[in-house]
Chain A
Amino acid sequence: MKILVCISNVPDTTTKVKFIEGNKKLDVTGIQWVINPWDELSLTRALELKDDPSNGIQLVTVAHVGPLASEPTIRKALAIGADDAIRINADPSDAYFVAAQLAKIVKEGVYDLVFCGIESSDFNGSTVGGMLAEFLEYPSVSSVSGVKIENGQVNITREIDGGKEIVTVPMPVVAIVQKGIAKEPRIAAMRGIMMARTKPLNVVEPLAIDSLTEVVAYEMPQPRAACKFVDPENPRQLVELLQNEAKII
C-alpha cells in the first residue's frame, strides 16, 4: 500500500505580509518558508500509519508543485520521515493547475491513500483536495480528523457541527485533512535529517495546463480604528459618540 501526501510551501506565521506589483503579488523577500501546517499533520499521520506494520504500508511519498526554491521544504518532509519526494517544477499558479499536476502524479504512482491539507495557510483556497479527487474520479472525504486502516478499507473520522461523523471508504481515496489528524507534527530527528540528503527527490516537468484564475488584486484588512475611552462617570459622552460618530443609535 502506498500513501501520497501533497505538501504546500507557505510563509511561516510570523511573516509580515506585503504585496508588490500593484498589489497582485506577495512580496517574498525575507520570508521563512515552512510546510503548510495541515500538510505537516497529514504527513505525521501517514508516518504513524506506516509505523504500524499491520497497516501494510510500504511507501510514504510527498508531492509538491513548486520551483527549485521550495526544495528545503521538501527536504524537511523527507527528514521528518517521508520515503521519497516528487517536485513538479512549476509555480503553483492556482488550485486548478496544482490539482491537475498532482492528479498526474497520483495516477502514475498508483497511490492508495492521498492526503491533502484542507487549505493552505497562505491563500486559503480550500479547493485543491476536492479538485484532485474529481480529476482522479476517486472518492474524497473532507474535514478529516482521524484515519485508520482496517481490512483494506479506510475508516475516517470527520468533524461535523457539534460532533463527529465516522465513515468507511474504499481505497483509493483522497482524504482532505484538518487539524486533529495528528496531535503534533513530528519533529525531524537528527538521523532523519542526515538521511534526507540521500532520499530520492524526483523533479518532473509540469503538464501544459492553463490556470483558470488570475489574481486581480490583494487587499490588506483595514487597520483597526483607534479605541476611544469614555469616562464611566460620563454616560452622556458615550451616547453622543454612539449617536453622532458611530451613528448606530
Chain B
Amino acid sequence: MENRKVLKSGEFLVDEVQFNDIFIPEQFDEEQKMIAQTIQDFLDTELYPNIDQIDSPDINLMQRTLKKAGELGLMGISIPEEYGGFGQSFITQMLAGEKIGAGHSFSVAFMAHTGIGTLPIMYYGNEEQRQKYVTRLASGDLIGAYCLTEPGAGSDANSGKTSAILSEDGKHYILNGQKMWITNANFADTQVVFAKIDRDRVLSAFIVEKNFPGVVISPDEHKMGIKGSSTAQIFYNDVKVPVENLLGNRGEGFRIALSILHMGRIKLGANVLGASKKSINDSVQYANERKQFNVLISTFGAIKHKLAEQVIKTFALECAIYRLSKDIDDQIELHKASGMDKGKASVEGISHYAVEAAILKVYGSEVLDFVIDEAVQIHGGMGYSAEMAVERGYRDSRINRIFEGTNEINRLLLVDTAMKRAMKGDFDLFGRANELAAGLDTIKDNQGQDESYFEEKLRVVKNFKNLVLIIIQGASAYFDKKLILEQEVLNNLADMIMEVYIAESMVLRIQKMESMNGVDADGIYRTMLDAFVYDASDKIRKPATDAAYSFASPETGSTYKKVVETLTLVPGINVKEARRKIADKLIEANCYKF
C-alpha cells in the first residue's frame, strides 16, 4: 500500500487530500479492464438479446443466465480464493458492479446474490459455514437471498417480529414470521434471515435453506420495473434451523444487517453509474439518428443541453465512486495487516465509510433518475414505447431510490453519522465550525491573486465545506438535541454535503489526470469541471439558505444570507457554450467515452 493520506469517514468536511492521494479510473490496470470487458461481452451476448424474455418475466431464463455468469466466475469476484472466489480488490468489485449495473433486472438479481445474499456469510460466517455455503455461492451453484424487511419493519429494521425460539433439545431454532420484498426469493437456495431469539431486543441472523420444511414462498410480486427479478414474500412456519446456522453471535443481526447495507449502498452507486452510461449511449445514438426539420436532433441546443448534463453528472459520480473504492481498499488492507480475518477486514473497511456510502447511494440513484428521464425525453414519443431500451431503463431506475435504505433515510443517516463520528473524536468538526461561526460577520471568499486553475477550484470547494460547517453549527446551536427531529434541515445539509464530496472528487480527479497525461487537447475535462462547479454553487446555495432561515433570527438572517452568497461565489462562465462543447464531444464519439 503506497504512502498516501487517507481520511476517515466524513473527515473530508474539515480536511483535504491532494490529488495524488486519490484513485481515479484512469489508473485501472490491464486485468481490471479485461474483467470489465468480460462483463460487457456477457451482457452483449447473454443478456441483452434475451432481456425481453427475462422481463416477461421468465424466472427459468433468469436462473440460467445467472448460472452462466457463475460459469464465467463473475460471482466469485468479491470472494477470497480459499472460498472458491478470485479475491479481487474493492476497486475491481466496484468496476464489476458498474458494468453489471447496465444489466437491468439481471443486475438486481446478480447484485442481491453476490452482495447481500452471499457476503453476510463470507463476512460473519464461521469456517464451516463459509466452506458449506460461500464456496457454492461463489460459483453460482447456489443462489442467495437476504431477508430483512417485514410488513411492519422497513426502514425501521430492528422492529421486525420474526422470532427464533431455541428447541428443547437445543439443536434447532424454531423460526416463525414473515419477510417481504425479498429479491431472488423464488429461486434462491439460501436465505440470510433476521429474527429475534427468545424475545431479544435485537436481531440475530440465520442461514436458512429453501428446502427446510416450513419455508413457504409466495408467488412473485408484480412490479413497476426490474420485472425479471424475483421479488416475493417468504413465510416461516415453525422452520427448524440447525443451531450451527446461527450467523455471527446471538444479537449481532442488526450489526450484520447494517454493515451489509453499507456495502450494498456503495455497490448500488457503482451499479447506477453503469446504468447511467448505458442510458447516455442510448440517448446519443438516438439523437444522432433521429431527424426533425431535416436535421439530426443532436444538432439542437436543447438536446445538447440534456446530453451534456447527462455526461457531467455521470462523470462527476464516477470520480467519487472510485475515490471511495480506494479508500475502502486501504482500510481493508490495514485491517488485514493487523491480523484480522479477511471477511472481517472487508466488512470493517466498508462499514467505516458509512457517510460516503450513503452519499454514493443517494447521489448516484438520483443521477441515474435524471439521466434516464432525459433519455426518455430525448427519444420523444419513442421513449414512451416499450420497444425502446430507455423505457425499460426508466421503470428499472426508480427502485434505486427506494431499496438499500430509502434516499430519505440515507440523507438523514449521512448527516447523523458524520456528526456522531465527529463527536466521537474521529475529526474536529465542531471546533472548526465554532471558529467559523465566531467570524460570520467577516467571512470572505478568500480569492487569492494569480490563483492557478486548480487553486481556484479547490478554494471554491473549501468555501462550500465551510458553509456546510456554518450551517451545522447554526442548526446544532439552535435545535440542540432536537436537530435529529428536524428532517428538513438534515435533508438540506445532506444535499450540501453530497455536492461537496462529489465536487471535490471531480476537482482532484481532473487534477490527477492532468498530472498523468497533461491537459487534454480540447480541454473537455476542465470544461466539465467548470460547468459542474458553476451548477454546484447553486445547488448548495438553495439548501444552505433554506436551512439558515429555519434557525436564524430576523437579525442574523441577513448575516447568514450574506455568508451563503459569499461562500457560494464562483466565477461566471459561459455555461451554454461549455455544455455544447461537452455534448459535441459525446455526439462525435456517439457513445460515452470520457
* A residues adjacent to B (C-beta < 8 A): 14, 16, 30, 71-72, 75-76, 79, 184-185, 187-191, 193-194, 196-197, 226, 229
Given contacts A72-B30, A184-B45, contact A190 B589 (CB under 8 A): no
Alpha-carbon distance A152/B227, docked complex (angstroms): 52
A75, A184, A187, A197: the one within 8 Å of B38 (CB): A187
Given contacts A16-B588, A197-B31, A229-B294, contact A190 B74 (CB under 8 A): yes
B307 within 8 A of A: no
Task: Please give me the residue from chain A that is nearest to B42 by CB atom.
Answer: A187
B132-166 contact mask (Cβ, 8 Å, vs A): 1 or 0: 00000000000000000000000000000000000
B216 within 8 A of A: no
Q: By the criterion CB–CB under 8 Å, are A79 and B34 in contact? A: yes
CB distance from A119 to the nearest CB of B (A): 22
Residues of chain B contacted by A194 (CB below 8 angstroms): 31, 86
Q: By the criterion CB–CB under 8 Å, are B33 and A72 in contact? A: yes
CB distance from A35 to the nearest CB of B (A): 11
Alpha-carbon distance A196/B33, docked complex (angstroms): 13
Task: Please give me the residue from chain A that is nearest to B81 by CB atom.
Answer: A194
Q: By the criterion CB–CB under 8 Å, are A188 and B38 in contact? A: yes
Q: Which 5 A-B pairs have the closest CB atoms?
A: A190-B73, A187-B41, A189-B72, A188-B38, A190-B86
Q: By the criterion CB–CB under 8 Å, are A189 and B591 in contact? A: no
Q: By the criterion CB–CB under 8 Å, are A14 and B591 in contact? A: yes
Task: Please give me the residue from chain A that is nearest to B75 by CB atom.
Answer: A190
Task: List 8 A-B pairs, Cβ < 8 Å.
Answer: A184-B45, A188-B38, A189-B73, A190-B38, A190-B73, A190-B86, A193-B35, A196-B31
CB distance from A209 to the nearest CB of B (A): 30
Alpha-carbon distance A185/B588, docked complex (angstroms): 29
Alpha-carbon distance A226/B588, docked complex (angstroms): 19
Residues of chain A contacted by B45 (CB below 8 angstroms): 184, 187
Task: Please give me the residue from chain B that is nearest to A229 by CB atom.
Answer: B294
Most buried by B among A79, A193, A197, A229: A193
Q: By the criterion CB–CB under 8 Å, are A190 and B77 in contact? A: yes
Q: By the criterion CB–CB under 8 Å, are B294 and A188 in contact? A: no
Alpha-carbon distance A184/B46, docked complex (angstroms): 11
Q: By the criterion CB–CB under 8 Å, are A193 and B34 in contact? A: yes
Q: By the criterion CB–CB under 8 Å, are A75 and B30 in contact? A: yes
CB distance from B367 to the nearest CB of A (A): 23
Alpha-carbon distance A190/B588, docked complex (angstroms): 34
Task: Please give me the residue from chain A that is nearest to B31 by CB atom.
Answer: A193
Q: Main SS of the interface on chain B?
A: helix
B435 within 8 A of A: no
Alpha-carbon distance A197/B30, docked complex (angstroms): 10
Most buried by A among B34, B71, B294: B34
CB distance from A100 to the nearest CB of B (A): 29
Task: Please give me the residue from chain B that is nearest to A15 by CB atom.
Answer: B589
Q: By the criterion CB–CB under 8 Å, are B593 and A187 in contact? A: no
Q: By the criterion CB–CB under 8 Å, are A190 and B37 in contact? A: no
Given contacts A184-B45, A194-B86, A229-B294, contact A14 B38 (CB under 8 A): no
Q: Which residues, 29 to 55 on B, are CB-close (under 8 Å) to A? A: 30-31, 33-35, 37-38, 41-42, 45
Given contacts A79-B34, A190-B86, contact A14 B72 (CB under 8 A): no
A30, A71, A190: the one within 8 Å of B593 (CB): A30
Alpha-carbon distance A75/B71, docked complex (angstroms): 20
A190-B73, A196-B34 given; 14 more Cβ-contact pairs under 8 Å: A14-B589, A16-B589, A72-B34, A75-B30, A187-B41, A187-B42, A187-B72, A188-B34, A188-B37, A189-B38, A189-B71, A190-B77, A193-B38, A196-B31
Alpha-carbon distance A187/B34, docked complex (angstroms): 10
Alpha-carbon distance A150/B45, docked complex (angstroms): 31
Alpha-carbon distance A76/B41, docked complex (angstroms): 13
Alpha-carbon distance A75/B29, docked complex (angstroms): 12
Q: By the criterion CB–CB under 8 Å, are B76 and A190 in contact? A: yes
Alpha-carbon distance A39/B398, docked complex (angstroms): 42
Q: By the criterion CB–CB under 8 Å, are B73 and A191 in contact? A: yes
Residues of chain A contacted by B38 (CB below 8 angstroms): 79, 187-190, 193
Alpha-carbon distance A16/B284, docked complex (angstroms): 15
B590 within 8 A of A: yes
Alpha-carbon distance A161/B73, docked complex (angstroms): 42
CB distance from B338 to the nearest CB of A (A): 27
Alpha-carbon distance A229/B295, docked complex (angstroms): 12
CB distance from B225 to the nearest CB of A (A): 27
Q: Which residues, 554 to 594 on B, are CB-close (under 8 Å) to A? A: 588-591, 593
Residues of chain A contacted by B591 (CB below 8 angstroms): 14
CB distance from B311 to the nearest CB of A (A): 16
Q: By the criterion CB–CB under 8 Å, are A75 and B34 in contact? A: yes
Alpha-carbon distance A76/B34, docked complex (angstroms): 7
Task: Please give me the residue from chain B that is nearest to A30 by CB atom.
Answer: B593
Q: By the criterion CB–CB under 8 Å, are B31 and A190 in contact? A: no
